[in-house]
Structure 1
């Protein structure tokens, strides 16, 4: 019997060999192209919060995702120059760690995993704001992203699109190429809100839900199985105290949780001291569509004016991911991602989220300085308008282009006072022999509107008998607006308290405000 007869299949023909080769070659080419499409990552060792703190890349609006016990954190990239107050964000990036720890650990950074106008043909460049990636019931990964619609008649052109990929790192392809799934005009009848900050949740039964909104407006829909079509009518949420923006929906056990950025401000607010800050609060519900019940604040204000969070469980430990301005060269528009442990109080029903303790990487020893104002408690005799912050007086920061919470100010429109008094109080007596004050102004000297330089100011101290006495200054008090003001030396004093009395520019019943970036209290020698 021949060897050919022993074979039950005939040998492949030349054409079959050629087809097999081409198929294999095509598969290799497609695999290679997919590999090339994957962004390249850089591995680094973090030593604490923020995760990446060297100022090489800033990161904001984090959205965590867990895949195969690995933590992925999607974030926008802040690219604003230090002196520009604007959200310049052109791309999304990813941080990945298989063993995340707030005190430090190994991470891989993947910059530029997606850009708005590259993923969505109908979108403009930029505004790569708060987005989220979720894994669908089909195993694919869906990117929900707020972008600016290129051709839109809506009064606000922000819109939310959805893209899909086989990996959290992409590459992402528009899953709804005809346009956004949420905007002021879709789905009908539309809305009049700004459509940003989407958060998406896939429930245990496979149903998916999206919430979104800002400026106090929170909306929600169920999503169809294609993850790109809304189902039914809109849910409007108005029961979450202080809701401003940045919703995050999740589930633990049978309870649904909605985290969000709140800014119900005021001197006795559990949330924010000024109207420009935000805290993270949360509510609960027994259904993903609500109704939602406010439960409290879990993260106080951070070093950036905005706050944006997400929470996930990794290997049995829950974490809250958020952003701050704590990286090198950081600021309100140069933010960086941080994360800390989130703990539960299961003695409550429904289980409560305990307040988060913010942690930071170890800092170098402070440089000795004569300025001991940061050791004092700062206060204002006059009521400080809600947008300004008295604690900015002694925070050791003199920003070039500050936002209102970066400085104290008396400006209150037509009710701006003629006289203002600022007070520093120490726990025990201190020795001082000089002072310096850095002013903020947006109007020329002598103006009676806006915030001009003050007309004059002077400093008093609380003497041994408990009365206020002027310090014996040796030069006049300067009122020039500069980030490097002259020191006002005075005869050495020992006191537990000093105060600055400021007279605003203006006359009659109309005065401008007085703005102070920093007020220094100077000891004879550096400490």
Structure 2
């Protein structure tokens, strides 16, 4: 549900129609990255705090300064908040805007990946390490070399390789890197440097991780998202093209790259045969939620698949005060995902 319709929503009625409820209500959480570690569900969300700023497309109203980790013993159990796992004041290179994170596990260590604006105003991606899935996490002193923009998501393949996907338009600055260097012109405009509608859409980025999980093992490269004819989706195709919120999961031997379309508020996906893509557009996973943003993860728990997502129903439509939710997803026999409506 786009922001312009919020004034007309009966939130008590919406609560009754919602297919799921917020996992926690004592704080606002968003952008959930869910993982099944050691027989337990761990959720790594961003933490929404009101900045007291007017809404803008640069995200100035999102005062996100720390991360909490949530856990669930099973998909039906209450979510437990384990408190602050990492705070921006503990990250030497970061100034503000700790946006959507993700986590990974390898050899008994847990890695929290997070974007933040550095002191020069440019988004970078950092990593922090812990001996437990709930932290506290100790950050590396510098951002990952070669990192830029937002929304890191790390996928572990069956051969033990790990890949990071990232990127986000507008406030996420992806469009400012079209030449390979940061373009600082027109800093007040979130849509400056966006391609024309008839040009190929901007693409998410992927890089394989080093064995120690702390750096990129290769030069980051674009991830192609193709239409049914094998052509790149166009920038004007804003109900299908990538905007932000990368995620990768594997189902029946196929790689599913899912993402948010941003200004049109869908969660969509493409299917491919390699973690590098290309991915052919497959359809919508989630229809629009209340609140401007839509951001998700997909996690298998005991043979069933679940979509973790957020909406702004708890804050009654305040776009930057969101709450994490979860709902089961289903696949058709051909591998396509059945679209979820967040409200019946």
Output aligned runs, 1:79-228, within 5 Å: 79-80=49-50, 84-85=54-55, 86-101=61-76, 105-118=77-90, 120-124=91-95, 126-136=96-106, 138-150=107-119, 152=120, 157-174=122-139, 176-177=140-141, 179-182=142-145, 186=146, 195-215=149-169, 216-228=202-214
CA distance in 2, matches of 1:237, 1:311: 19
CA distance in 1, matches of 2:281, 2:253: 17
Deviation at 1:235, TM superposition (A): 2.0
CA distance in 2, matches of 1:257, 1:235: 18
Secondary structure, in 3 states, of the residue corresponding to 1:117? helix
Matching of residue 70 in structure 1 with residue 40 in structure 2: yes
Output aligned runs, 1:299-378, within 5 Å: 299-345=286-332, 347-348=333-334, 351-358=335-342
CA distance in 1, matches of 2:310, 2:160: 30
1:251 counterpart residue number? 250
Q: 1:225 to 1:81 in 2, by over 3 A?
A: closer
1:288 counterpart residue number? 275
Q: 1:165 to 1:83 in 2, by over 3 A?
A: closer
CA distance in 2, matches of 1:83, 1:181: 30
Deviation at 1:68, TM superposition (A): 2.2
CA distance in 2, matches of 1:281, 1:222: 23
Q: Is this contact kept in 2: 1:49–1:359, CA < 8 A?
A: no
Q: Is this contact kept in 2: 1:327–1:336, CA < 8 A?
A: yes
Q: Is this contact kept in 2: 1:58–1:78, CA < 8 A?
A: yes
1:235 counterpart residue number? 221
Alpha-carbon RMSD? 2.1
Deviation at 1:234, TM superposition (A): 2.5
Which consecutive residues of structure 1, in runs of 5 or more, have no partner in the other structure? 1-46, 188-193, 264-275, 361-527
The one of 19, 27, 31 equivalent to 1:61 is: 31
Q: Is this contact kept in 1: 2:207–2:219, CA < 8 A?
A: yes
Deviation at 1:180, TM superposition (A): 1.1
CA distance in 2, matches of 1:235, 1:157: 19
CA distance in 2, matches of 1:122, 1:149: 6
Q: 1:352 to 1:207 in 2, by over 3 A?
A: same
CA distance in 2, matches of 1:82, 1:327: 18
After superposition, what is the alpha-carbon deviation per residue over 1:371-392, rounded to whole angstroms, capped at 9, x for unaligned? xxxxxxxxxxxxxxxxxxxxxx
Q: Is this contact kept in 2: 1:239–1:293, CA < 8 A?
A: yes
Q: 1:253 to 1:140 in 2, by over 3 A?
A: farther
The structure having more radius of gyration, on CA atoms, is 1
Q: 1:261 to 1:48 in 2, by over 3 A?
A: closer
Deviation at 1:295, TM superposition (A): 0.7
Deviation at 1:339, TM superposition (A): 0.9
Question: How many residues were matched structurally?
Answer: 276
Q: 1:338 to 1:359 in 2, by over 3 A?
A: farther
Q: Is this contact kept in 2: 1:95–1:109, CA < 8 A?
A: yes
Q: Is this contact kept in 2: 1:323–1:337, CA < 8 A?
A: yes
Tell me the TM-score normalized by structure 1: 0.50
Q: 1:217 to 1:211 in 2, by over 3 A?
A: same
Secondary structure, in 3 states, of the residue corresponding to 1:169? coil
CA distance in 2, matches of 1:325, 1:83: 17
Deviation at 1:280, TM superposition (A): 0.0
Higher relative contact order, chain-length normalized (CA < 8 Å, sep 6+): 2
After superposition, what is the alpha-carbon deviation per residue over 1:354-382, rounded to whole angstroms, capped at 9, x for unaligned? 1124258xxxxxxxxxxxxxxxxxxxxxx
CA distance in 2, matches of 1:98, 1:245: 30
